[in-house]
Amino acid sequence: MEITKNRMVTLTYDLRLDDQNGDMIEQATADRPLRFIYGAGQMLPKFEAQLAGLKQGESFQIDLTKFDAYGEVNEDAIVELPRQVFMVDGNFDNEMVKVGNSIPMMTGDGQRLNGIVLEVGDQAIKMDFNHPLAGEDLHFEGEVLEVRDATDEEIAALFSHGCGCGSGGCDSGGCGDGDCHDHGDQSCGTGCNC
């Protein structure tokens, strides 16, 4: 069975920066593979397009430029927020709000996003809301473990969770967004677009 629209795809991969010799930043292993419904908008479009037609047991290598992955670093996504935004019950959480930590936040219109703390000041906190892989070229190397028709329940669950982010069933651990993905932040190289 080939990878086509509405098929459940299970695969492994190593994700490296730049090329096959770059720094390893993520793995989906046979024990914790990536699972997603092909054509449902869960993955980066260019990543998904290069998987089209592959079958179980076939290997792949996919190179994505930063423009086909998470784009360039957007300087407008680096902002200073007033310190009081981070107050909980009148207290500032020094353990949570420290340089390098990823903090889940919500915009005024309810959009969830993660920000990395860049600086902690007396009056403001400097945050970076770019995707952690913005500005990076990505290299994937992996194997297709399984291709099958997605069940009606799997397709319904995808939409009931409201997931275009989180990849609707990835079990690889290490990135993603909440219910639909077993990852915890936005560092996934495949399709975590919240």
Would you tell me which CATH number, out of the four given (2.40.10.330, 2.60.40.650, 3.90.1150.10, 1.10.30.50), belongs to the domain 75-128? 2.40.10.330
Number of H helices, E strands in the chain: 2, 11
Which ranges constitute the DSSP H helices of 102-179?
A: 152-160
The rounded distance, in Å, linking the Cα atoms of 157 and 168 is: 8
Q: What angle do CA 94, 135, 176 make, to 5 degrees?
A: 60
pTM above 0.85, yes or no: no
Element (H, E) at 47: helix 45-49
Topology (CATH) of 7-70+136-180? Chitinase A; domain 3 (3.10.50)
Rounded average pLDDT per 10-residue block, the chain, 194 residues: 95 93 93 95 94 97 96 94 90 90 88 92 95 94 96 85 38 32 37 37
* 3-class DSSP state of 69: coil
Q: Is 82 helix (H, G, I), strand (E, B) or coil?
A: strand
Give the Cα separation of 28 and 171 in Å (integer): 8
Best CA proximity match to 132, nearest among 6, 1, 9, 15: 15
Q: What is the pLDDT of residue 161?
A: 57
pLDDT of residue 10: 97
Q: Where are the domains of the chain?
A: 7-70+136-180, 75-128
